[in-house]
Each structure stands twice: as C-alpha cells, then as structure tokens.
Structure 1
C-alpha cells in the first residue's frame, strides 16, 4: 500500500486510478493520556473530550511534555490531526520519533472544555513510533485531548513542495520548502444546496493523468467524490515539472450542478514561515473611485480581496500568492481572516464574489452553467516564493498564459503621449488641439519614444470637434488626425462604449434603429447609474451597433490610438442580458470587449482607463493603474499606491500607465515626483495645456526632454519598477527599483511636507553591498557619486530623485564623467 499514498509519477500512456473507500482509511485514534507525561505535564478533566480527560501544562518554564506511542502498519506519510482545547491562540510543537519538530498554530477552540482540531503531515515508520507534544519555546501550548492518524495521498511538485490529501476526510495540507503553509483545506460549491468536500461524501477516488498545455508538461490530479443524494464533486490539482506552484479547481457534475459560488480552496489555517513583518494584501477589482491597495498586518486582516491576495513576510520576503487566472466567467474573491501572530484562521478563494464597494455590483453573482450538467470554478493559482514580489510577477505572467490576448499584440515602442483631459478637459477645440501638436512638433522635439513616436490623444469632449454629436460630421476630427500626421505625430481618440452619458431614453441609438432605453442594463428591476453614467447591456444589438458605428467613424478619421473608459459598466451582474446564453457579468464583459476588439481590427493602440484590473488584459495593450490623478503630491501618492502593489500587472499587460502627468504651476520638486510616478509605472503620458504658455511649458521642455530619464521607459520597454518594501498599508512605497540593461535604477519619492534623509541598502535593492559602484548618477540634476553598502541621500519635501547605478563600473568614481 505504500505507493498508493506516495505516487506522483507522470504516466504518459494510461490513466492511473487509485481507489480508496472510506472503510479502508478510518483514522487511528490515540488518547493523549495514553502517553508518557514529564516536566510538569498533567491530566485534567474535560467534559468535552473523548476520554473525559486531557493533558495540560504543556510547555511553560519547565516545558511540560507528553510523548504518545503510535503504531502503523505501513511506512509512509500520514495526516496527524491534533484535538485540543484552548481559550486563546497557542502553539504546539510536534516531534515525530525524536526528529525535527514543527510548530503548529492552534486557534482558540472556544474554551478549555471545547475541542478544536488542526492537522499536519508526518512521516512514520512501519510499526512503533512516537509523537512528542510540547512547546520548546517557553510558551504555553494548548491542552491535548487526542491525536489521530490517517494514510495520506501525496502530490509532490517543484522542490520540497507537496499537497497531502486525506482521502478519508476530504481535507488537505500544503507544504512549501517542507514547511506547512496551508492546513485543513477543502472545497465547497453553492448550488441549490451547499456541497463540501469534507462533509457527506462517502467515497473518494484519485486519478492521475498527464497534461501538456501552455504551462508545460505536468499531471492533472483528480479526486472524485460521491455520496448518496449528493451531486458528484471533483477536486482537481494541476502540477508541472519544475514549477513551485500548482493550480486547483472544483467541479460539480450531474443534474443540478449549476452554481453561483464555488470555492476550490477553503483553509482553516495559513502560516508563512518567518515571523517578521507579516502582511496580507487587499487588491481592488478595478481602478475606479480612487480605491487603494492595502497591505494590512496579517494577524488583524479581515477582508475579501478581488481576484488575488498576497500573504508575505516583508522582512525576509517569503510569500504566498493565491488568485484566479481565469476571468471570463467568474468574479473571484479571496477572503482572509487574521488569527494574530502573523497567521490566518480562515482563507477562502472562491468564484462568485460581488460587493458594491469593490466590484460595483448591486446584486449577487450570476449562476454559471445554467442548464448544463457540469459546472467548473475559476482555476486558482497557489504560488510560494522566497520573494513575494517574484510570486506576484509569476502570477501576472500566469494570467497571460491561462487567458492569452484576444487582441493582437502591439509592436511599437513604449507609448509616449499627451492627453487632453489632464488640463484642457471640456475646453477642447480644434484650435487648441492643433496648438498642442505644434508645441510638441516645434518646441519639445526630443520628447519621443524609441520609435520616434508621440501620441496626441483627444479625451472626453472630443465631440466639441464634431457637429451634431455621434451622428454628425467628423470633419474637424479628420482634420485634426491629418494635422497630427503631417507633423510626424499620431492621433488618438477617447470613448466609453458601454455607457449612456445623456440617459437618452427614447432617443435612437446612433447607427441603429434601437432606442437607448432598450439597451439599458437592469439590476433588481431598475436601470443602474455608475460614476454618473447609465450602464448599457454589452450583449444588446443596439449597444453593438453603436460600437460598430462609432469605431467605424474613428477608423475613417485615421485615428491610431483609442482610450477606452468606464469598462466596468460592462461587467456588472444584471437581472438578465439580451443574449440569453449570458448569465454573469464577466461573461457579458467578454462578449462586449471581444466585439470592440473585432471592430478595431488591429488599427489602433488600445488603452483602458477605468476597467477591471485583471479581466481587461485580453482586450487591450495598455492600462491605467490609477485614474484621475493630475499634478500635486497627493495625487502622486495615490498613483504610486497602485504601482507599489500592482506593478506586477506589467507581466499581464504590455504596458501599464500612471495617469496624467500634469506639471501646471506646481513647484519643481512636485513636478519631479509626478514625472517619476510615470517612469516608475512604465509609460509617459503628459497632460498640460500646451496650447498656451505658462510655467508648465518650461518645465516640460526640461523634464520631457531629459534623455537619461526618457531612456528608462525607452530601454525598459515600459518596465514597471518593483517596490523595495511591501509594508506601507494603503500608502505608497517611497523606494522603487528596476534593472534595465547594465543599470540598476533607484527611484525615491518623498511624499512628506519636509525634506527627508534616506539610507538605502544596496542589498535591499538587489545589489552587492560589498561592491563599490563607481558611477552613480542622479538623473534630474546630473550629479555623480559612488556608493558602497548604503546610499545616503536627502530628498526635498514633496520631491523625488532617480539614481542610475552602473553595474559594470566597480571602482571609485574619481574623475569619471557622464553625459
């Protein structure tokens, strides 16, 4: 039977099925009082315990200990479940056979006569073994009622990583680097009833089949659960050769299997090795309403993060990232509940998440697989890494792999440009737009990307240049587009395809015979306004006809870039959709966005403003990480909060953008900070009113033509900088870094009202602290220095500095000079 529990071999030709009925895997139970007590451990009465007694006084100054003898017939891995009592959080140390101990967190059970349980995995020999329980750290452990042992299915992946699945209970533990990280995990599905993998099912069978997909060669591990009166459930795990992550999903199969909520991963315990500055990251669903990321202290965290969360120790950077890589059917939430001491007492990754304040929804999630005989959850990635930032970047890339772009890739250089909403806004005219073109063509000639390209983008109120609205003449828009091109620039335009700003009611939808009120999305029987705009059903032929009509006119004008806005309106959960095959907001979003992309037909750089963080990636080239930020340091603060905790979306999108870079009449320090926010995020889109002359024009001619600065975006191909730290709550990091070519860049932003001194460890930004870097250039001022170990610098109030560290020049600077 040994191989039954430890087989992880990939069989290329045939399916391997292991069948265990519950009758063959009953747990062996051992009372704690059957063990040998020492160092003050004693028996105590317990009305709720299995033998009316428990072992107490474990740990403490004398390290009270109990050693329980156990006997198993077969060597292998076993699930050890510890039944305990405690009124407060405690830790129990578990030592099998006098080997290495493992500390297990025990959440409060409800009191000293109320039994709780937790589990871990142990490797035992055939025959006699011992399990020692104590608390060698000097703290007090919980009181112990009993322990049980069950043989365990082992699914190994990567290096030192395993899923230990208990076929008897339907629960599993996950170990990374041979450390328990996720404990007592199970799956659930909400149909007409709620089904749990660990409740009611009486048979669980295991099958391993080879799989080859975009992630490589691996194994699909399927546990099929059946029981009288229950819909068949399947828990699925995907592992890949050499990959230190896995994917999991849950399915219901059979009549009545359609669901409105499915959770492939529910866990009653999560602990990240380390014990330093433990953080849990709350990720927004979109970039609307100035919402912020929040890296909360893990022990007190209590939130549902949209699509993904990160759990990590900011001190040593060990981290776990858990999130969905599929976004075309479900909205996913990851709920976390802190348990004190840097642990979680509950984690749930589930499809079916809605929230007015997060997903903007006013009703529950739609049902999935309506009318079908099988329903699948979103696929959840579970990824552990020695650096939580790398784990997030891997997650970003996995999203792009799992759901490849529907839109053809953009092949140009990092987008540089100007957008009218930064300053001109509703005052836009053809004369002003042409004057902006003239400014960049004649007075800011070196502000260009690696393709010598610059986009001039007309935002909302571009219809000031059209007579008669959408149905009227676009002659002035064509004139503007042609004027841009005559000056060597590229014209851009703006549109929100899924909203009715005018709430036009009985008016005819442009380009169709439908009325606007026919196309309005209905939620709870009423139309819905979000951000002041009425949502349109993305599946309605009137909405689609309008999209085809307007985009057709833009293409005829000759626009080469389009900024799409208010895309979240297309993702709202609705009472119903015109297309009766669509039942969820994300299904509607997919339908609408694919239609937009089809109409664009590869003619434009496609860019999104307000939009879902992850689901938009299939349909656009570039996405704004924060919306409606303009010029002062508070808006730079807001932008860089999104970059601090969302920089990894660069692995999902071709480019991410930090919103309008407006200089206005702000002090030089704030202008440097604002421009730094763009470079750190990856692209450069400015927004001043360059149709007139003011303080901003001189600032632009200086900063926007600083080639050392522009080379960051050019040579980095829009590469977003990593945050140096991840413990800033809902505030941004002050330090960001990126490796580009032979240079390591360090950006420092001081959001405070006073100058601030910084001591930056070279080791913390990925460099050798023992090396002397001989050429270190501050790019705003051109000042040169050298650095060994730490960089000491003072940054002005509300200001920024960007250092370029040449990694190839490793001697003192001396008389070295640079451009």
Structure 2
C-alpha cells in the first residue's frame, strides 16, 4: 500500500512539474525561426553566416511567410525581429485578425548581416498566425523573432481637450494617445542619439511630475516623465496639455552634462490607428520647400512610404476625419515625419528631429548637433491633433506655428498686394524702356487692375542689374508718379559667379563666405550657397539693401533662401551647428537691413521656417501659361493652403497669359485668386494676344473683387495624390465662392455637392463671375467646362449679389481706357458682348461731332481712333444690341 501511495505522489509531482515547465515556456521568451514557417510563391530559404540559422528571402509582392505562435496569456508582447537588408525596406506584420502594422527596417549592413528591432504586438491566448509580407514592394530577408511578454505596470493618465488623453506606462516608458475616448496611437516611445542611442524603453525607472506653463499658444499643464538608470544621460518625455485645446504637444529632452544630440524622436509608434471608419484614407507628403518643382502627394495609406517635412496628416477624404502630426518649432531642427502604411487603417509613424534628405531638404550631409556644450537638449514640440475635418486640423497646425514663432518682420497693415513681375516673360531682357512701358500699360490700358488701395507693385526680377543705379531710381520715380510701387529682386544667400573675387561692400572675398559641405562649396540650383552667418555675407546684404532703399524700392522679392538653411561642415558663427540655426541668424539680419521699408516676398524658401521673416510667400515656383503648370501650382495650394495662417499672403507664382487659350488663361488667373495674390507676368512692352486677354481678364471686377478680399479658399477634397483638386471654395460676407478647374484635354462635367461645401438644402442664386451668367441651383452645382478651363461661381441667397465695394478711380464695371487718350481708346463693358457697337461722341453742349461703329469681343471693344478730335472733354454714348445705352466721360489730350 505504501508503494502505491508513493507512486501516486510521484505521478502528481511529475504532472505539476510538467505544468510549471509549460507555464515557464509560454510566459518567457520564445524564439521562432522563419525558415520553419509557411512560405508562399517565390519566398525561399537562403544561407546566412551571421544568422541563427537560415533566412527567408525574396519576400514582397505576392510572396510571404507565416509563422504560428502560441502564448498562454492575452496581452502585449515584445517582438524582437532579426532581419537582413542592404537598403531601407519595410515588412508588414498581420497577427491573426488584428490590424496590419508596418515595420520599416534600416539597412543592416548587408543581405546576410543581421540587425534587430523591437515591436509591440497584442496577442490573444492560444495559437495565432503571424503573416509577414509587403504587397506593394520588396521586403527585407527575415531570420527569426523572439517573443517576450510585457509585464503589467502602473500608468499615469493625462487629460486634454474634450475626452482626449495620454496614458503613460511607467514600466515600459511608452504611451498611448486617445482622441474622443478611442486609442489612436499605441505604445509610442522616444529616443535620442548622442554619444550613444538613448531609448526610452531601456531606462530603468520613470517618475511623474507636473507644473503649470504658458507659451505663445496658451496656458496649461506640463506633464513630465523623468527617466533614469541604465544610461549616463537622463531623459524626459514631456506632454503639453493646453487649456481649451483639443490637441497636445509632445517633446523629448536629454538631460545631463554632454546632452547634445543630432537626432531625436519624441514619438515613434508602429501602431497609429485613427478611427476613421470606411472610406478613402490618405497620408500626406509635405515638401520642405518649393524648389525643383517638388509636389505634395496625398498617398493612399495602404501604399504610403515616405518621410514628410515637418508635418503630415493621416485622414479619410470621405468623412474628412484626420490626424495631424507635426513640429511647431523650426529654429534649430529640421524635422521629418516618417510614415509607412500598414493597411487602410494603420501606419508606422516616427517623428525624426534631425532629418535630412538630399532631394527634399537639399542637404548633402547629416543634420548638425543641437545644444553643443549644454546640459539639456530638447526636441521641437510636436503637435498631435485629431479633428473631424482634416482641413481644420492643418489650419490649427498653421496657427500654432504662427503663435510659437511670431513675426520678426514688421506687420503688414496695407491691403492685399497685387502686381507684375518681369520674370514671367521679359526675363533677362528687362531694361528701363521695357519697365516704363509696363507701367504705362497698367496705367493707361488696364486701369482696373489695382489693389484695394489703388496701386500695383511693379517688380523688376533677376537681371535688374541691366540698369544703372540712376536708371533704377528713374524707374522707381516713374512708377510712383503713375500711382504704383516699384519692387526689386535679390537672392541674398547665393553666389552665381562661383569664383573667388571681392565681396561687394566688404573687405572679404567670396571664398571666405561659401558654405562648405564635405570640404567643398555647396552648389545648389547652379549657385554656391553662402554662409548666412559670415561677416562677408552680411556686409554684402547691407550693401545691396542700402542700394535698394536709396533708389526708393517699396517691395523686394527674395529668392533661393533654402541655400541659407543647408547643413554645413561649420559656420562662421561657431556657436551654431545646424542649418536652421544659421537660417534664423541670416534671415534676422536681412530683415533688420530692410528696416521696415519694403513689402517682402519669399520665392524659393523653406515652407514653415520662413514664416517669421516675410509677408508673402510663393507656394510654388516657375509656372507659366499651360494648364499643366496651373495643376502644378494648385497642387501646392490643395495641400498647402493652410500656410496662409503663417504668412500674410500666399502667391501662386506669376500669371503669364502668353498665346495660350482663353480657357488656360482663365485657369491661370483663377489659380492665383484661389491661392492668394495675383502677380501678372506678361511682356506688356510689346504687342501680343496677352494684352487683350489682360485687358479682359484683369479688369473683370467680379473676379478682382474676390482676389482683393481677405478670403481663404480651401480644397473640397484631398484625394488627388500628386495632382491638384479641381474644386475650391471660400465663404465671405455670406457668399460662397466656388472655383472649378478642368486640367484635362477633354470637356468635363462636375456635379459639385453643395452640402460638401457647407451649404444647406435650400435654393441658391448662382453667378459665374467670368461670364456674368446668372442661374439658380439646389443641392448640386453642375459645372460643364471645356478642356483646359476654369470657372468661378458666387453662390448666394437673395436677388442681389453682395460684393465688396472699392471706391477708387476706375473700379466701375464699365469705362473708357486709356482716359485721357491721344490716339485711341477702348471700352470695357459690364457684360459680355459679341457684335456691332454704335458709338457717338458729343461735346459738352450736347452736339454730336462724330460717330462710328465698331465690334466688341466678350467685354472689350476694339481700338477706337480719336486722333482727329481736338483736345478737350467729350461724352461718349455707346449703344449695344438690345438698344442698351451707356455714357462715358472722355478726355482727349
């Protein structure tokens, strides 16, 4: 009996031991080799000397590998992935029915050299199939992965806005972000590169404190998690919760002696999963500047694989919900937002302060070090903002940028500027005679094209130095006497000569001022970059600004500013170590030298960092007549319009009519109206079709009144990828203005939903402002456009369209021009006319002294000869079809 009992006890002990062994196995690290998984299509097993065994290669497209895992407990697990790749590639992981996550893999050192990275995955108890693939591109070779359970630990919850919160895990040093109660960002971590790589998840302990704070955005509570242990430097993960704001700002800070850094991330998450519901989900690539015809791109989230400059927006174009993630500080860092779509509802996102890329930021070396020699180093503040309308989210991001980096330049209080620029058509042929002829054209032949305060900016672009200083001063005086303001152009931070010589206005030579990168002058856009901190560069700026101010110029277009933000081997100011720090110094010096004397417009320049230093910024560059170039400029407006919260005005580049079709001309002009300001660009010193087109289009006061008003157009949709939206709208004084474009070479019909434009279900009056055609609509605006054309509609309720009233000169909708005249005049009608026009001329006592018949095309008559009339004042009576009679007062010189 005793023997039986002993055997029974041994059996129970054996079972318990086996159970404990099984629990230990499933609750500790488990290693899975990919070569033991199930492969599809071309995926194969390859040798790897540095791996734990073999690797699975040829992954991507329709080739995948899947591995079954078994865990005892439902919860979060750390997955340490071992991979091999010679170039940057992404692998996507789907754990059972969970949302697919993207895992970008940096080069490991070769196709058979292994590297590793850690990812958090949520697994249910039991067996789960992990599918590894990349349907849109090649994937890295895969060696193995190790699963380890993440133990439970205490959390700290931070509330902000309405039902939004940060849930910080004090054990893992990661955090979740919830908007409207739903988790949108999961297990976000931080890192900083200094003397070594500091990872938030590897610190031993985290403690929490909070304090009140105030910055230019507002006041609130600053939440600080201080990390220590396992590293020589400390780290803080900081969250700024603003009162009455539905967004939060995040930041990472290195602390301790020697805590300088060249790369930091306050947020890196493999699971950004906005709760968008079904629909067309997108992720927005934002360029760093507007050079080299770069474009914005709204990628479908499933195929997104990019790094955007400073900000991105992940959004649903169908229901318009969106998530903005972007830096709101640009004084030290260039920041990239890396996005890799895991599917239609998830993405990997990493905010990288210290990011450069040659074809985007124009840099040819890595980012400089920040806070050298100091005891702390902070990343920029990064805004997280979920919104019911992705467009509103970007506008709030723009407002936050403007608040945190307020204007350094003087406030612009005059009305919206409009004008002409010589680069559009005259280019290198500009001279005093041509410049004066352009002034005469606008004064005599196109008098209704003026700003609200009755002027224009007539701007000499590059090659203005064809003229002497005396001729420049003469041009300024000539323009001023005609009621206009003269503008000039200059690129303060580039050397087009690219050879050593004395620097104007200084004792320095050019080779002392060039920006050196990797031991050589940095050449970009055909010019050498000049160090913005160099005393020689500054002396040159002072010399030219003094010339421009002495001549009396009231406007300056500054160009190629990106050259001043380049990461360099070093700067003349050796206290600065990054391109953005140098940019700040150079731009402040330039603005100080301008001394409040000129309206300042930036051409090629960084999108966001230029905001404090200029009044107007071109949103694109070098677009001319064709409908394709209008699509290019409006691509930047479609996805960058929100920068009107940072700049006083945006400009879509010069409007050149040339010999293009009337439809392309309408579209070209409307692109500027939609973007912000109008800058005409034709050569009005010579005869050509562009003169009549300008007289017609630039004197349509219905259109010009929209351009003059302080209204901001937004895109109706953001699903156009590399191209522009075709519908934009703005509401002003209870009138909704709708711009519709056709960029194609065939006629189109657009059925524009009024509810999508924010209008109700009632009946509306509609006026097309180019033609003057009036109609009515309800629910939908049906727009039929010929190829390469555009239309502008005013939608309103009531019998009369309420428009701005600008009380000056020839602001009426019909008039004689030029007036006075010597040889000929023309008539601008208030409606479209195609046919004969009877004209009678009377003296002041009412005697008819001459009459003739001419023809009109659209809203402009042909030229009417008056050289035979004696000098004096006359009344011109005009009769058109339908016996409509109009009278004009006319002066013969």
Give the TM-score range, shorter chain.
0.7 to 0.9
Indicate the SS of the match to 1:586: helix
Name structure 2 gaps, 5 residues minimum: 1-18, 33-69, 82-90, 106-116, 129-146, 802-829, 832-893
Q: 1: distance between equivalents of 2:434 and 2:681? A: 13
Q: Is the 8 A contact 1:45 1:52 kept in 2?
A: no
1:414 matched residue in structure 2: 416
The 1:756/1:419 distance shift into structure 2, 3 A limit, reads same
For residue 118 of structure 1, report the CA deviation from its aligned partner.
Answer: 3.2
Instruction: Tell me the residue number matched to 2:762.
Output: 771
2:321 is aligned with 1:318? yes
Q: Assess if the C-alpha contact under 8 Å between 2:296 and 2:639 holds in 1.
A: yes
Q: Which residue of 1 aligns with 2:336?
A: 333
Does residue 802 of structure 1 match 2:797? no
Distance in 1 between residues matched to 2:767 and 2:479, nearest whole Å: 36
Counterpart Cα distance in 2 of 1:602 and 1:388: 36
Please provide the CA RMSD for this pair.
Answer: 2.9
- Structure 1 or 2, whichever has the larger Rg, is 2
Q: How many Å separate the matches in 2 of 1:566 and 1:697?
A: 31
- CA contact 2:766–2:793 (8 Å) conserved in 1: yes
Displacement after TM superposition at 1:256 (Å): 2.0
State how far apart, in whole Å, the 1-side matches of 2:754 and 2:603 are. Answer: 35
Q: In the alignment, which residue of structure 2 is the partner of 1:631?
A: 625
The answer for the alignment partner of 1:481 in structure 2 is 476
1:170-209 matches, cutoff 5 A: 170-199=173-202, 201-209=203-211
Q: Cα deviation per residue 1:642-687 (whole Å; 9 max; x = unaligned)? A: 0010000001100000001000111100000100100010111110
| Deviation string, structure 1 residues 210-244 (Cα, Å, up to 9, x no partner) | 11222222100111101144301011110111211
The equivalent of 2:305 in structure 1 is: 302
Mapped contact 1:109–1:116 kept (Cα < 8 A): no
1:116 Cα deviation (Å)? 6.4
**Is the 8 Å Cα contact of residues 185 and 266 (structure 1) preserved in structure 2?**
yes
Change beyond 3 A, Cα 1:254–1:556: same
1:176 is displaced (CA, Å) by 0.6
1:243 to 235, 242, 245: 245
In the alignment, what sits opposite 2:612?
618
Partner of residue 503, structure 1 = 498
Q: Which residue, out of 458, 461, 465, partners 1:459?
A: 461
Q: 1:741 aligns with which of 721, 733, 743?
A: 733
* CA pair 328-67 structure 1, distance change in 2 beyond 3 A: closer
1:790 to 766, 770, 780: 780
Deviation at 1:50, TM superposition (A): 4.0
- Contact kept, 8 Å, 1:771 with 1:810, in 2: the verdict is no
Shift of 1:502: 1.3
Structure 1 residue 338, shift from structure 2 partner: 1.1
SS in 2 for 1:738: strand
Could you say which residue in structure 2 is the equivalent of 1:99?
A: none
Query: Partners of 2:498 and 2:71 in 1: how far apart?
Result: 74
Q: Give 1:531-610 correspondences, 5 Å limit.
A: 531-610=525-604
CA contact (8 A) 1:249 1:264 kept: yes
Answer with 83-92 or 304-313: which moved more.
83-92
- Alignment of 1:753 with 2:745, yes or no, is yes
In structure 2, the CA distance between the partners of 1:157 and 1:745, relative to structure 1 (3 Å rule), is: same
**Shift in Å at residue 117 of structure 1?**
3.6
Cα drift, residue 275 of structure 1: 3.1
Contact conserved, 2:101 with 2:346, CA < 8 A, in 1? no
Contact 1:186 1:266 in 2 (8 A): yes
Cα distance 1:598–1:729, how it changes in 2: closer, same or farther (>3 A)?
same
1:512-568 per-residue CA deviation (whole Å, 9 max, x = no partner) reads 111111111110000111100111111111110010011011001000000000001
Aligned to 1:27: none
> In 2, are the aligned partners of 1:92 and 1:105 still within 8 Å (CA)?
no
* Cα gap change, 1:772 to 1:513, in 2 (>3 Å): same
Seen in structure 2, the aligned counterparts of structure 1 residues 436 and 46 have a Cα distance that, compared at 3 Å, is: farther
- Would you say the 8 A contact 1:119–1:183 is kept in 2? no
Deviation, 1:721, is 1.3
Give 1:723 deviation, angstroms.
0.8
What secondary structure is seen at the aligned counterpart in 1 of 2:158?
strand
Specify whether residues 511 and 312 from structure 1 end up closer, same or farther in structure 2 by C-alpha distance, changes over 3 A only.
same
Structure-2 change in CA distance of 1:106 and 1:532 (3 Å): closer
Q: Aligned pair count?
A: 709
Distance 1:710 1:398 in 2: 31
Alignment CA distance shift 1:115-1:158 (3 Å): closer
Structure number with greater CO (CA < 8 Å, separation at least 6) is 1
Aligned-residue offset at 1:106: 6.0
Q: 1:444 aligns with which of 443, 446, 449?
A: 446
Cα separation, 2, equivalents of 1:46 and 1:736: 62
Residues 1:194 and 1:482: Cα distance change in structure 2 (over 3 Å): same
1:167-215 deviations in whole A, cap 9, x for unaligned? 111000101111111111011000010101111x112111110112222
Q: Within 5 A, what are the aligned runs for 1:678-717?
A: 678-715=672-709, 717=710
Give the whole-Å Cα distance in 2 for the aligned partners of 1:156 and 1:48.
36
**3-state secondary structure, aligned to 2:360:** coil
Instruction: Report the 3-state secondary structure (helix = DSSP H, G, I; strand = E; otherwise coil) of the residue aligned with 1:548.
Output: helix
Q: Find the counterpart in structure 2 of residue 376 from structure 1.
A: 378
Measured in 1, the distance between the counterparts of 2:284 and 2:404 equals 23
Q: Which of 723, 728, 734 is the matching residue for 2:720?
A: 728
Q: Distance in 2 between matches of 1:675 and 1:328?
A: 35
Give the counterpart of 2:671 among 677, 683, 688: 677
* Cα distance change on mapping 1:176 and 1:105 into 2, 3 Å: farther
The aligned counterpart of 1:471 is: none
Displacement of 1:48 in angstroms is: 7.2
Question: Deviation digits for residues 323-367 of structure 1, max 9, x if unmatched?
Answer: 1111111101000111123311x2111210111100000000000
CA deviation string 1:480-538 (max 9, x = no partner): 00101000000000000001111231x21111111111111110000111100111111
Question: What residue number does 1:234 align with?
Answer: 236
Q: CA deviation at 1:420?
A: 0.2
Distance (Å, rounded) in 1 between the aligned partners of 2:297 and 2:677: 24
Contact residue 46 and residue 53 of structure 1 kept, 8 A: no
Name the SS for the 2:201 alignment partner: coil
Q: 1:808 to 1:258 in 2, by over 3 A?
A: farther
Is the deviation greater in 236-245 or in 558-567?
Answer: 236-245
Q: TM-score, normalised by structure 2?
A: 0.76
| Alignment partners' CA distance in 2, 1:750 and 1:632 | 12
Length-normalised TM-score, structure 1: 0.82
Counterpart contact for 2:99–2:343, Cα < 8 Å: no
* Structure 2: distance between partners of 1:325 and 1:641: 23
Does the aligned pair in 2 maintain the 1:106–1:118 contact within 8 Å? no
**3-state DSSP of counterpart to 1:615:** coil
Cα separation, partners in 2 of 1:232 and 1:88, compared to 1, 3 Å: closer
Give the corresponding residue for 1:23. Answer: none
Counterpart contact for 2:102–2:341, Cα < 8 Å = no
Measured in 2, the distance between the counterparts of 1:83 and 1:371 equals 36
Q: Is the 8 A contact 1:723 1:735 kept in 2?
A: yes
Q: 1:522 to 1:174 in 2, by over 3 A?
A: same
Distance 1:534 1:340, change over 3 A: same
In the superposition, relative to structure 1, how do residues 327 and 285 fare at CA in structure 2: closer, same or farther (>3 Å)? same
Match of 2:358 in 1: 356
1:266 aligns with 2:268: yes
Distance 1:805 1:512, change over 3 A: same
Q: CA deviation at 1:386?
A: 0.4
Deviation at 1:119, TM superposition (A): 5.8
| Separation in 1, partners of 2:158, 2:246 | 12
Q: Distance in 2 between matches of 1:115 and 1:543?
A: 47
